[in-house]
A and B are shown apart, each in its own frame.
Chain A
């Protein structure tokens, strides 16, 4: 079940990504409409994070392309915000919660330019939106996992983007934080913004997302959540049907074969 949309906000065409000759994404093809919360789901090692990174140009793409707002990423960078996995950074870094949120403003500053007072106002405001204003000056290592995630979301809000790509924003987060973040995301989509979230928990998916992308190395389904949340499609995503694909993957890796002839 792959539903394509007219005038997509995100268009991914025949996207293939390899890590050290090992394909982690095979010919991904889908489109997403504007103003929705979309979940990207699949088992561990399905390539969900890689997909988001490929959309942000953070991993080299073997074949295919990604278009955001109908253009290349570099034309629309200011309209796109990326939230990396919380574990990808060292939280012992000497910075306060406010310092991290201010980083969300760096994209709007020129070389050499320091954050302005107005940037601080925005950063404080974003901390308030995630309920963290009381922790603005707290060293980031002294925050709980949920609070650290809120700081990352606040940094993303400070970018004032139209499209948000979030890698596992609910991982290692308490239920109160998760609910608060979901509320915030819903508010954002009601203002016409679009949010794409890598997610793990099938049970909550139905309440959180309007649109669902199921994948396991290759795309299994993409469409409105009601139509995609079916037993067959979930079985296909999480079940053991991929044995041949993963065997070929390992084979390419072992034989040091490229994924494309040229």
Chain B
């Protein structure tokens, strides 16, 4: 069913190469669009390009990219200027301005497209492919043109890397050291429009914003360094372009653009789930670890309280029900905690019913009880909070206080002698 050998056909390789170049340049420029919080503008520009393409076609009667690019560039840029003008001169906020410009331009584009289709102009078939991309129809000439544009874009970003970085982070400061920020912004938005104009060949007007923004948004999860972020964005978009373009040939009659966007989205979703530090899985594991730590420390603390109330304190044995009398814990939870504590060597099982703290367990229990009391003292004596309000707070804080904080608390409280709180 799948014909893999088709991938080595020179025409197909042209298409894959074209998609690759477009995706790479879009994601490079898109990193700055994303960081400057202009993602929505990217979407407006992508839609605003359609009337430009149609007008250029009507005027020149050709689908040669050398004629279509200037037209697309013109209306794309016009949309940016319009959004700025509307926000600046009226009470309309940016999000509303973007919606207005996007829909008006796109509507005009669709109208022009329909006019062209009914006009009977020669050579007009395939123009509607700009809606969803027409990568499969790329000629070697197209690839050359877009390849050169893509290389120019990347070269410009590389050359003005430090200027764009500062502009994106702190525009006022950039201006204060004499950067021509208006010129730089003009240049950057020009590059953005150009990247969108080329990228549209691959994925089309409707999906273009994702080619621009998704790689950067995904890359941001993996790194805190700007140059690494750009590199990862390029990597993600390259992989998506190659896979997307290949799939559309291996399984014929599959559209290229949507496949590229599908792979991009998959990368994004996987990232949101599995990314280090900020991913859902990491956060979930951390929550679980905290819960487990709280459970274990609470059991040790309760055990410790119990030992303090028995005469022969160091070798006292308790039943699980003794714990539950002191502290409301579900049996399943308690069993889980006890099991973990036994395996960690803090608790020993005496026989079927009785448990005792090991020396280390006693130490841990004492530490937690001590921190609990220390925090209560800090709240009552230092922050003058009513004594009957501090217990619940201390129940949580006792688990997070570090030895350094403990030391500081002891110093400001004047090394208080702390007796375990027995309830």
> What residues make up the interface of A, taking CB atoms closer than 8 Å to B?
53, 56-58, 74, 77, 80-82, 84, 88-90, 93-96, 99-100, 103, 106-107, 109, 111-115, 139, 141, 155, 159
> What residues make up the interface of B, taking CB atoms closer than 8 Å to A?
35, 37, 159-163, 165-166, 168-170, 172-179, 220, 223-226, 229
A106-B162, A114-B162, A115-B162 known; A94 vs B220 contact (CB < 8 Å): yes
**Extra contacts besides A81-B176, A82-B176, A114-B162 (18): CB < 8 Å:** A56-B176, A57-B175, A57-B176, A58-B175, A74-B178, A77-B176, A84-B170, A90-B169, A93-B168, A93-B226, A94-B225, A94-B229, A96-B224, A100-B169, A103-B170, A109-B162, A112-B159, A115-B162
A residues in contact with B220, CB < 8 Å: 94
A residues in contact with B170, CB < 8 Å: 84, 88-89, 103
A residues in contact with B173, CB < 8 Å: 82, 84, 103, 155
Q: Which of B166, B178, B223 contacts A77, CB < 8 Å?
A: B178
A106-B162, A107-B177, A114-B162 known; A82 vs B172 contact (CB < 8 Å): yes
Please report the C-alpha to C-alpha distance between residue A100 and residue B224 in the assembled complex, in whole angstroms.
13
Please report the C-alpha to C-alpha distance between residue A89 and residue B226 in the assembled complex, in whole angstroms.
16
A residues in contact with B177, CB < 8 Å: 77, 106-107, 159
Q: Which of B161, B169, B174 contacts A95, CB < 8 Å?
A: B169
Please report the C-alpha to C-alpha distance between residue A55 and residue B294 in the assembled complex, in whole angstroms.
55
**Structural contact, A103 and B169, CB atoms closer than 8 A:** yes
A84-B173, A115-B162 known; A94 vs B178 contact (CB < 8 Å): no
Please report the C-alpha to C-alpha distance between residue A43 and residue B169 in the assembled complex, in whole angstroms.
29
**Structural contact, A58 and B169, CB atoms closer than 8 A:** no
A residues in contact with B172, CB < 8 Å: 53, 56, 58, 82, 84, 88
Please report the C-alpha to C-alpha distance between residue A159 and residue B177 in the assembled complex, in whole angstroms.
9
Q: Which of A103, A114, A159 contacts B166, CB < 8 Å?
A: A103
B residues in contact with A109, CB < 8 Å: 162
B residues in contact with A81, CB < 8 Å: 176
Please report the C-alpha to C-alpha distance between residue A176 and residue B99 in the assembled complex, in whole angstroms.
48
Q: Which residue of A lies closest to B88 (CB)?
A: A20
7 A–B contacts, CB within 8 A, in A order: A56-B172, A82-B173, A99-B226, A106-B166, A106-B174, A107-B177, A111-B159
Most chain-A CB neighbours within 10 Å: which of B162, B220, B229?
A: B162
Q: Which of A53, A56, A74, A94 contacts B224, CB < 8 Å?
A: A94
B residues in contact with A74, CB < 8 Å: 178
**Structural contact, A94 and B166, CB atoms closer than 8 A:** no
A residues in contact with B159, CB < 8 Å: 111-112
What's the minimum C-beta distance from B201 to chain A, rounded to whole angstroms?
30
Please report the C-alpha to C-alpha distance between residue A69 and residue B166 in the assembled complex, in whole angstroms.
27
